[in-house]
């Protein structure tokens, strides 16, 4: 796969991830009854929903900055993966497997986006040359 294709897939995936988690953040911060009812039914406290909403909002903002804050983007992707995994297992434990479809879809979407992120921005590790 060439770099141009990887960049296209990365930015489409980033846009979809930003829309998904941006909307989720908005619904959590505006106490949308559908989102709140499900999250409360999963056993999470109300204050956690606000914290999650703020974290998602900040994460989306970082993801949308092109070519900057690459290490922080790694943390954002990690946070998104944790959110998806917790959503999957919480829904599976409280509801049923059918209710986990959105989490499975999100996991695939974000995984592809992250893989393209790594292809577009390969990890480089500077050696510690001070004191050598």
Distance separating alpha carbons of residues 31 and 109, to the nearest angstrom: 26
Half-sphere exposure of 48 (CA within 13 A, CB side): 9
Query: Residues with Cβ < 8 Å from 97, sequence gap 6 or more?
Result: none
Give the three-state DSSP class for 67: coil
- For residue 1, the model assigns a pLDDT of 87
**Domain spans in the chain, listed from the N-terminal domain onward:** 3-120
- For residue 130, the model assigns a pLDDT of 55
Distance separating alpha carbons of residues 60 and 76, to the nearest angstrom: 8
- For residue 126, the model assigns a pLDDT of 58
Integer-rounded Cα radius of gyration of the chain: 17
Record the tokens describing residue 57, joined without a space. Answer: 């909002």
What are the mean pLDDT values of the chain's consecutive 10-residue runs (132 residues total)?
95 98 97 95 95 98 95 97 97 96 97 97 68 50
- For residue 125, the model assigns a pLDDT of 60
CA distance readout (Å), 38 to 24, 34, 52: 12, 6, 14
Distance separating alpha carbons of residues 56 and 87, to the nearest angstrom: 14
- For residue 123, the model assigns a pLDDT of 82
């Amino acid at each position: 796969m060439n770099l141009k294709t990887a960049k296209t897939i990365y930015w489409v995936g980033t846009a979809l991830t930003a829309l998904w988690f941006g909307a989720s953040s908005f619904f959590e911060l505006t106490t949308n009854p559908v989102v709140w009812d499900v999250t409360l039914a999963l056993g999470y406290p109300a204050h956690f929903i606000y914290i999650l909403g703020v974290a998602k909002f900040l994460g989306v903002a970082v993801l949308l900055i092109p070519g900057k804050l690459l290490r922080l983007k790694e943390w954002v992707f990690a946070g998104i993966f944790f959110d998806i995994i917790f959503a999957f297992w919480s829904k599976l434990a409280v509801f049923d497997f059918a209710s986990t479809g959105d989490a499975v879809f999100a996991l695939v979407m974000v995984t592809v986006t992250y893989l393209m992120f790594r292809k577009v921005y390969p990890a480089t590790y500077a050696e510690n040359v001070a004191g050598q």
